[in-house]
Chain A
């Protein structure tokens, strides 16, 4: 009996009238856990009963504690007939099982009924007494913390990142059981809710066990999904990243960034000894075989690139393989390279993906990345690489091998994180994704199959077969992702996620992520690498130092440190041998450091790294596509879908690329491609946040070319369009403040003084000449116009040509231009943060919007459909802007679109996002803002952070004679640089002198200094003063109900999260048989969503929290039958309950703990 659960029912309020005669209710409560039930007394004739019950005690296994929810049912006592249920409350007690989370659940919970919605509230008190259980064979995993947040939670420090964990459980869907025909909808819904609650509890427990096995204590980026497969059952699956987290003891020290450098020194002491060894043993042995393999790999590459480039290629092939693969699971056939590719324009393909790596290095690091790698590295490294380019035979065999080995290993170098501790993410390859089409009806449904009379039972595949089948499906896809990543020269996949789309018996499984090279720092202790790139880690001090001195100045600031790549651009670099370039991509030298190659475009699924050098602001970019499909059944349907998929992906990709260019940006973050299947159409929606990464070359424009040049009017038409496009580009540049020249002029000047020897260093590479050329012209360029002009004509990268040869292309261009710009004062992105906006206020509005569109015209063409879909999304966005107009200036962050085809002619789009306002004045004062940013950063780093960067920034603000002056002058000059007349010569002079100073400083810094403390104290007042002035006018008193903020982001601006109370993972069903009376479908859904929000808030408040971060609505399945006046909706939401405090409230305490801890750590450093 390792646990005692105690519950007390205090009172109820606002109960519904259950007795028409008296207009009152005789309420009592049943409290159920597992198979034990307690009842309170009946509180007669009251709508506000005061039960004040005794403590109901349940003695249970901790396994049950994890799986089961506490179930509270409120009933109306009826002497003569059966008692009527008023409603229920399910309370997940998992948060009480972790010592660091909540200790008690106490508060008002809405009483929820699946037919009537919320009916009053009940006040409940729940506690758990856990007894320590040292049984090694235990099945529970109490104490493992779960976070939906896809970064290291803010008040924790990552000691170790163990890697990917996944699990899935399967059950029969109660809605499809025979009994459902005779029971009430309410009973059926409740059975379903309860089952899913149980299943997710079980899932979480199982994942927890895996984490414990790996030596971790937490799961970050926990993503749980439901697949409602209808007849074939209900799948609940989850993925996450296992970590060992350390709670940062000083609650006031913000943990936002886990400091890379300090973690290594501190590691020896902090790492739990058990955790490390498992990872350690065999690592280094692999480096040499890998080495040789990798060179072969890159050769193979050149041939097969198209396939590997963008996931699209591979899955195209993959997906077409889908149905076949189903029949012969490992049979993975034919030619890998997708044929359709060759016909497509080269640019979109080349896009993001080529990653590259210096073979030796990345592989050795790869070997250290996680346990999975161990067995796989040698095989697949050679395997996929070698075979990809040659013939398919070996590929097949090898892949099979891979699958097998994976089955044995059951682990992948995947990370569900989207943002990382500084220094963890070294290089980003590009997006990798895989899709597979599966037929559900072929899966025998064994576990509960006997309940069905109409289905033949396959006794051979008895129980538990199904989860295995599903597991195998996902294994397959993960293997593919992994091999894609390998092909891109990356050993890990970050920002990884999985999803499904189900229509009847066809199911598309999708997985995507970003191929990346990670630092071994968080993987293990050893793995020292002599590679020069690793030297960056040996001087991590500077890495993060420069990152702080960042902003516009980041790139130049970093120049002072000769032997390391600045973090602002490091992740874009391709440490790659250009001679073996896999495809005709344009590599250029990084515009920041000038030493490493970068691609011309970069696509990723992760968040923009905070240290990234970005010019201007970002914006949401969406590609939308709709394709008709013939209605079909079973296998035919699956084949049809697989055949359509590649085209869909290709077009989405082209659209993304075009739109990116139209905004003159060169990188996408947070890319999420969703493909949804319906009976007679396929929907594709790709969302991402476009930014201009300073290190990457400026994108060329878009040129339109006609195929039939004879006609004059036609020519005119084309030139008109061209003009429109050019205008739009120019407008967008202004709108998003993408004005590269300013930075460029700064950069080369800066470089000139220190870079000379570097040129010789790199001279062996094939590209130095163009680089020099470009540098030359850049240093001459004085005005922005000139540069952009030159940029356009520069090199071949401009050759992005749209050919108008058919109506399709015309459509494309139209759709390009019809995207309405965001109204003034609004920005939007689908990532956590918006580059270029730092001064958030605490005004925050999370919202969910759902639209369902009925296509009444059945004979729609593809174009027609496209337009409808496009308009639907555009109008939705417009509506959002309009509704939130009172928050201007504001940014819609984390805009998460979900599309579905619930029925034949219906398209459903659901959006969840948060609108956050920011201070306009400060945005304009660029200089001050960047200054502020640095300082804010310095302040928000925890005490584990480096001393040196603090000193750097602090001094720059405190010493008016030297660098500070330079900094302020430079940054002050930056905004004005946009004005036509600027004295550039003096400007650059100052710059270079400033850089000199920085360099000098760097030397002193490197020697380490104890000045830190004092300078830190000097630094602190400034940002605080600012925050104070910001917050002061923003305290509003709530009503008697505690205000609970919700946000899909992992933070709330202007606040510090001081405690994570546990994961919120709730599943609700709502059904109505009086749709019209409830205000039609909109009224029904509106109140349901409001109810879901209310229940989430209530649970958070009961845990003692005041906010939900990383909130998401994972599922919103809506079904209606207006003729029967019925509708049903299922919603699944999740997030992390937290307690936050306003920064302004922390003011009283701040400097002491920080400086104290800094002192200790710096002295520690000294010894």
Chain B
């Protein structure tokens, strides 16, 4: 004796946000029923598992049918099949495109290809996120990537426009797309301590200051690529370390500013040349795609780790970078202030974001 068929269809589509989340999280119907029973969120209604099962099945079916529409969120608003109140539509879309940062961290910088998709079960077992959910998130990345990849204009705005997402989420997607496009190395062991948010912040910085769009929104070029010219110009910064006078002058200026203001002054003084060289080297190598990819690992290995071993505090670092940047501008012979500030602004905020345990 079995229930062969069991459906419930409302003129206004009923959406239970709790069940939606369970569905998005990739739980099977049985698991979802169990969770709902355990959560006891059903309040006073005494309901049997049977009723819950039936309800969950209905909801899952509805979501499955909606999924097709969610792939192109603008369709959701003018499709006729489901009558869904506007606020629910927005919720459906937002939640569908929300992703686990844990998962995003794993995929970040990887090519959004079939190969990566095959590795999803590894990611799933590593992060504890259901494979189903991983697939959805991965497909979302890929879908968003495909749509905005070729589009002109600000990345986050494009994402928002096409997928009707909230500001925050659109920015996160911009980061994912940006990383996937530039294929930054994020998987190295030394980078494991960095969270998705750290990278998202960095991506945001890079998008805002280092891409073509950063200089001129009207440019034909896109937001996803770093500005070639700028990267090329970065080579000029070498003068800061190659010219010994300038290096010394720079050091003395920074030291005079920081003396007594940071705890690690002596270490700083001793290490100044190394640190400066590291930063300038990173800058000058950015013309190579390979080195662009290694931007973050370089920052960590060449700069953050030495600082950390010397037990710099975040405050120390902030002061140092601030003055390191500003004093260079006061060097008489230094002619690349604009490039310098564009470079250091981003590097500084990235390093500060990345400087934690």
Contacts and interface: CB of A to CB of B under 8 A. Distances in A.
B57 A1091 contact: no
B40 to A, nearest CB: 14
A844 B291 CA distance: 61
A847 B11 contact: yes
Contact of A1040 (B14, B44, B77): B77
Given A823-B45, A845-B11, A1039 B3 contact: no
B77 to A, nearest CB: 4
A118 B81 contact: yes
Interface stretch (B58-66, B219-227, B233-241, B256-264): B58-66
A857 interface: yes
B17 to A, nearest CB: 10
A262 B288 CA distance: 93
Contact of A1039 (B5, B50, B77): B77
Contacts of B51: 875, 878-879, 882
Contacts of A853: 1-4
B89 A885 contact: no
Contact of B50 (A13, A110, A875, A1046): A875
A991 to B, nearest CB: 39
A878 B48 CA distance: 9
Interface in A1079-1121: 1079, 1081-1083, 1085-1087, 1089-1091, 1093-1094, 1097-1098, 1118
B78 interface: yes
A1041 B5 contact: no
B2 A1040 contact: no
Contact of A883 (B14, B61, B64, B77): B14
B168 interface: no
B64 A1079 contact: yes
B184 to A, nearest CB: 32
B270 interface: no
Nearest to B62: A1086
A1044 B5 contact: no
B3 A852 contact: yes
B11 to A, nearest CB: 4
A102 B13 CA distance: 28
Contact of A845 (B12, B42, B65, B79): B12
Majority SS of interface residues in chain B?
Answer: mixed
Contact of A1094 (B10, B54, B61, B81): B81
B8 interface: yes
B80 A1086 contact: no
Given A1038-B86, A1041-B77, A1046-B11, A1082 B55 contact: no
Nearest to A906: B4
Contacts of B62: 1086
Contact of A851 (B1, B3, B61, B77): B3
A176 B9 CA distance: 31
Contacts of B61: 1079, 1082-1083, 1086
B86 A1044 contact: no
Contacts of A1043: 83
Given A824-B44, A856-B1, A1039 B6 contact: no
A854 interface: yes
A854 B65 contact: no
Nearest to A1095: B80
A851 B6 contact: yes
B309 to A, nearest CB: 56
Contacts of B11: 845-847, 1044-1046, 1093, 1097
Contact of B9 (A1044, A1045, A1090): A1090
Contacts of A1082: 5-7, 57, 61
Contacts of A875: 50-51, 54
A845 B1 contact: no
Interface in B20-56: 42, 44-48, 50-52, 54-55
B83 A1097 contact: yes
Interface in A806-823: 823
A1150 to B, nearest CB: 29
A975 to B, nearest CB: 24
Contacts of B77: 1039-1041
B85 interface: yes
Contacts of A868: 1
B78 A854 contact: no
Interface string A821-865: 001100000000000000000000111111111111100000000
Contacts of B85: 1036, 1038
Contacts of B189: none
A120 to B, nearest CB: 10
Contact of A878 (B4, B14, B47, B87): B47
Interface string B81-116: 111111101000000000000000000000000000
Contacts of B57: 1082
A1002 to B, nearest CB: 46
Contacts of A879: 8, 51, 54-55
B75 interface: yes
A1085 B7 contact: yes
A850 B48 contact: no
Contacts of B55: 879, 882-883
Interface in A341-394: none
Nearest to A888: B45
A1037 B84 CA distance: 11
B2 to A, nearest CB: 5
A1040 B51 CA distance: 34
Nearest to B6: A851
B312 to A, nearest CB: 54
A14 interface: yes
A108 B45 CA distance: 41
B8 A1093 contact: no
B8 A849 contact: yes
A881 interface: yes
Contacts of A951: none
Contacts of A67: none
A848 B1 contact: no
A1093 B75 CA distance: 18
Interface string A247-288: 000000000000000000000000000000000000000000
A608 B8 CA distance: 28
Contacts of A882: 42, 45, 47, 51-52, 55
A13 B50 CA distance: 40
A448 to B, nearest CB: 34
Contacts of B12: 845
Nearest to A885: B45
Nearest to A110: B80
A14 B48 contact: no
A524 B250 CA distance: 110
Nearest to A911: B8
A855 B1 contact: yes
Contacts of A1118: 5
Contacts of A885: 45
B93 to A, nearest CB: 12
A1082 B13 CA distance: 16
B32 to A, nearest CB: 15
Contacts of B45: 823, 881-882, 885
A121 interface: yes
Contacts of A1090: 9, 13, 65, 81-82
Given A850-B5, A885-B45, A1039 B89 contact: yes
B75 A14 contact: yes
24 contacts: A14-B79, A110-B80, A121-B80, A823-B45, A847-B14, A848-B9, A849-B8, A850-B6, A851-B3, A852-B3, A853-B2, A854-B1, A857-B1, A879-B51, A882-B45, A882-B47, A1040-B77, A1041-B79, A1044-B11, A1045-B11, A1046-B11, A1081-B4, A1082-B7, A1094-B82
Interface of A: 13-14, 108, 110, 118, 121, 823-824, 845-857, 868, 875, 878-885, 906, 908, 1036-1041, 1043-1046, 1079, 1081-1083, 1085-1087, 1089-1091, 1093-1094, 1097-1098, 1118
A-B pairs, 3 with minimum CB distance: A852-B5, A847-B10, A1039-B77
